[in-house]
Amino acid sequence: MSLIVQKFGGSSVANAERIMNVANIITETYAKGNNVVVVVSAQGDTTDDLIEKAKEINEKPSKREMDVLLSTGEQISIALLAMAIEKLGYPVKSLTGWQAGFVTDSTHGSSRIRRIDKERLNNELDKGNIIIVAGFQGINRYDDITTLGRGGSDTSAVALAAVLHADLCQIYTDVDGVYTSDPRIVPNARKLDVISFDEMLELSSLGAQVLHTRSVEMAKKYNVNLEVLSSLTRKPGTVIKEVVDVEKMLIKGVAKDNNVARLSIIGVQDIPGIAFKIFSSLAAKKINVDIILQSVGRNNTKDIAFTVAADQMDEALEVLDDLKKVMNAKEIVYDDNISKVSIVGAGMATNPGVAAKMFEALADAGINIHMISTSEIKISVLINKEDCNRAVNAIHDAFIV
């Protein structure tokens, strides 16, 4: 008997008709003799609606109370889905994140899973029940409700697959797999049959919204068999695994990220320890830094520019304002009217000229580059936000035909 973990996103359970469709997928899997554990997100735009309700009451609510509020969205989903499965005549039990044994750290709003206590899950599976688990949530050592951050239901599903040693983890979405780019922007984007963990991890971290980055990290770490597919079309999806033949495809995907802000500290002292002061202070506030560029020192000063998520820009600016006095920096400059566009592919590590081809495509489209970052399997550029979609199409046309 196989154990299959299935995760369904908010669009898959957005209304009664789609909930019944998901119930049919789950019960068909169960009827084939499989044990089934399901993770569900909040319906449709529920999380956004709850955030708006909070703002009506308090513009700056505590993160603890936001976790209490936002966790209710998934609880609605699991109850309704369990009711649908009951209607079809199958044994089912819905569980919140904490009932399912998710224990996290205490970072409200973006908690990390510490462990999953399996006793309740194993008991329900032994009884022959389909288990429906609320994704995105857990409980900390103080018995406070916590959430894993946006997209955290993917992480919940992969964590369950890892700890239960599932034979397969299926991530059902409203798209039928992983594409070479966002098909809403790039009309000729192609669906990939297979992609490596490393390539998927880069695409996720660079703005592709198919899978949550932390879920891919966990799947790679525990070698979880992962498949992304559509709950609406019932077609084979994209398999994500450890090693993939490079084949003829040099580039696997083109991703964009509009949630980017660039900050620059101008005229800091050109002495040892300055970069440490800046980035350790940002890390202490749990602000993730991406692209970093340091200028050549001149007149005993240098400029340091870096990018953060746009929604962390204000917090980062507060940190830099405090440091400005300490370091005698001339000024702090910021820009959130930018986008990051990236190409990803394991094939580029052994093929020279990839960066030149990307830059040529942007030059031909008349798009200026502000910053560049590279690794073995990706190249990212910062450009003006209004040029983003044109850039994605130009690069996609250059590499993927």
For the residues 257-276, what does the mean pLDDT come to?
90
What are the φ/ψ torsions at residue 27 (nearest 5 degrees)?
Answer: -70, -30
| Amino acid 297: pLDDT | 67
Pairwise CA distance, residues 112 & 364, whole Å: 44
**What pLDDT score was predicted for residue 7?**
97
29-40 pLDDT tens trace: 999 999 999 999
> In the prediction, which pLDDT does 202 show?
86
Least confident of 21-25, 74-78, 373-377: 373-377
Query: In terms of pTM, does the model score above 0.75?
Result: yes
Sequence-separated (6 or more) residues with CB below 8 Å from residue 265: 278, 303, 304, 305, 320, 323, 324, 327, 329, 332
Which residues are within 8 A (CB) of 249 and not within 5 positions of it... i.e. 6 or more apart?
345, 347, 400
Instruction: Please provide the average confidence, as pLDDT, over all residues in the chain.
Output: 92
Sign of the alpha-carbon torsion through 25, 136, 221, 287: positive
Q: Give residue 174's pLDDT band: very low, low, confident or very high (50, 70, 90).
A: confident
Closest CA to 75 of 65, 87, 83, 85: 83
pLDDT, residue 249, reads 63
When comparing pLDDT for 250 and 302, which is higher?
Answer: 302
Q: 22 pLDDT exceeds 90?
A: yes
The predicted pLDDT at position 245 comes to 61
Written as one letter, the residue type at 44 is G
Per-residue pLDDT reduced to its tens digit, 210-228: 788 889 999 999 999 999 9
Average pLDDT over residues 274-287: 92
Q: Which domains does the chain have, with CATH numbers?
A: 3-174 (3.40.1160.10), 254-399 (3.30.2130.10)
The whole-number pLDDT of residue 247 equals 52
Nearest of 182, 252, 249, 234 to residue 210 by alpha carbon: 182
HSE at residue 164, side-chain half, CA atoms within 13 A, is 33
Q: Give the list of residues 6+ apart from residue 245 with CB closer than 8 angstroms, or none.
A: none
